[in-house]
Amino acid sequence: MASRHKSGSVRTFWLDRSAVLDELTRFARSLVERFDEVERVILFGSMARGDAVPGSDADLLLVLRESALSFLERTVRYRLGGLSIGVDLFPYTRQEMDRLLDEGHPL
């Protein structure tokens, strides 16, 4: 959620990080409650580091117990919408995460 203030010809924008984190927490809880296979939701990237700016999106790693869906199908399945900021979802099963880590890919 970006807030805005206008004074003459000067406009300032800032990110209400607390409100965004509250919104993301509600979103994460709804994913865990709605989908049995969603084990964890992990925030990473600029929002997690605290250096997000207005226009930044939120990066969420979804840890799934298992899934027969393709990665693309999963990104559609778990997108619930209604958020004030953009969200990039990364839905990986535990097995896929283990394989990626074994291959040296950072998550």
Tokens of 37: 């296979």
Residue 66 CB contacts under 8 Å (≥ 6 apart), including other chains = 37, 93, 94, 95
Return the bridge partners of 45, or none: none
Tokens of 70: 């393709």
What residue numbers bound the domain in which 86 lies? 2-102
First to last CA, the chain: 26
pLDDT in tens, the chain (107 residues): 444 545 566 655 557 888 999 999 999 999 999 999 999 999 999 999 999 888 889 999 999 999 999 999 999 999 878 888 899 999 999 999 999 999 998 76
Q: Does some domain include residue 22?
A: yes
Q: Does some domain include residue 64?
A: yes
Q: Does some domain include residue 61?
A: yes
Quote the number of domains for the chain.
1
- CATH code: domain of residue 94: 3.30.460.10
Q: Does some domain include residue 94?
A: yes
Q: Does some domain include residue 107?
A: no
